[in-house]
Amino acid sequence: MTSQPAGQTPAAIRIENLRKSFQAGTGSREPHYIIKDIDLTIKGGEFFILLGPSGCGKSTLLNMIAGFIGKTEGRIALGDNEIERPGSERAMVFQQADASLFPWLTVRENVEFGLRMKKVPKARRKEVSDRYIALVGLAGHENKFPKELSGGMKQRVQLARVLANDPAILLMDEPFGALDAMTRRTMQKELIRIWQETKKTVIFVTHDIQEAILLGQRIGIMSVGPSSRITDLYDIPLAYPRDLSDPNVLDLLSTIESHFDE
């Protein structure tokens, strides 16, 4: 329940002809698409970045993969199964930890939440929460409440909380967007370490090009909405940990930046 057999990679996510429209108002003739014609395959275990400007629909796409909101047309499948609703194999790390953590629960109780919902016995819960609290570097803070933690630590709690349910896929919606630059850099390194340790598929939404290049194995660039699509895909074959002073990183940075200059 808490760790997949070694060597087994999670199933791929296949997105075909995906469209999402607002419910068209009575007056409008054309449906208003937020997302139009997205085709994308994300391999199991891949660290995939969705990069685009604010309001381009990348969070909408992520929420559709999570099953929080429905699609208008097309297909999203995990392996052979169509995604229709939220499932515990997909876990979301939200941008605002304050909005998603449970402030009345301690760090440990937050991390154990999913296990408690599944009626996992207490001793087993403690074992799992100990492990993931340590993994995200929060050992010693188990009995604190979220309001006693800094922004970066709260995001660590969110990460531990979803990891405790052992999802195959981590969906991350600008999770470090609200952090200061230094904490953000630390969290990026930590995330890479945790990803390498746990071998999850990660779909990471950001509008920060540097962050995209430091983290992703592949970057999908979304066009400005409405009717946004994935216009380009970049493979980033660089080894981790990556460094902003690496000339290869700088090259990519200017290439990708030129996309947004037009």
79 token code pair: 């392996």
In this complex, which beta carbon is closest to another protein, that of residue 27 or of residue 103?
Answer: 103
Q: What mask of x and - would describe binding to another protein in positions 134 to 173, judged by CB under 8 A?
A: -----------x-x-------------xx--x--------
How many residues at the interface with another protein, by CB under 8 A?
28
Contact criterion met (CB below 8 Å) for 105 and 113: yes
Residue 75 pairs with which residues in a beta bridge? 16
For residue 36, count CB atoms less than 10 angstroms from its CB and return exposed for 0-12, middle for 13-18, buried for 19 or more. Answer: buried
* Sequence-ordered alpha helix ranges (H) in the chain: 58-66, 97-100, 107-111, 113-117, 122-135, 151-163, 181-198, 209-215, 247-261
**Closer Cβ to another protein, 204 or 234, answer by number:** 204
**Which parts of 78-107 interact with another protein (CB under 8 A)?**
86-88, 90-92, 94, 96, 99-105
CB 103 → another protein: shortest distance, Å? Answer: 6
Report which DSSP code applies to 32.
-
Count of CB atoms situated within 10 Å of the CB of 50: 29
Of residues 218, 224, 228, the one with CA closest to residue 252: 218
Q: Does 44 bind another protein (CB under 8 A)?
A: no
Shortest Cβ 101–another protein spacing (Å) = 8
Query: Residue 52 Cβ, how far from another protein at the closest point, in Å?
Result: 21
Which residues inside 6-35 make contact with another protein, applying CB under 8 A? none
Instruction: Show contacts with another protein in window 56-75 (CB under 8 A).
Output: 66-68
Binding another protein by CB under 8 A: which of 1, 24, 117, 233? 117
Q: What DSSP letter does each residue of 212-240 carry, written as one string?
A: HHHH-SEEEEEPSSSSB-EEEEEE--PPS
Per-residue HEC secondary structure of 57-100 comes to: CHHHHHHHHHCCCCCCEEEEEECCEECCCCCCCEEEECCCHHHH
Span near another protein by CB under 8 A; candidates 108-116, 131-139, 178-186, 238-246: 108-116
Does 121 sit near another protein (CB under 8 A)?
no
Closer residue to another protein in complex, CB, 117/134: 117
Order of strands, sheet of 33-42, starting from the edge strand that comes earlier in the sequence: 33-42, 13-21, 73-78, 81-82
* Least Å from the CB of residue 59 to another protein: 12
Q: List contacts with another protein (CB under 8 A).
A: 66-68, 86-88, 90-92, 94, 96, 99-105, 113-114, 116-118, 145, 147, 161-162, 165
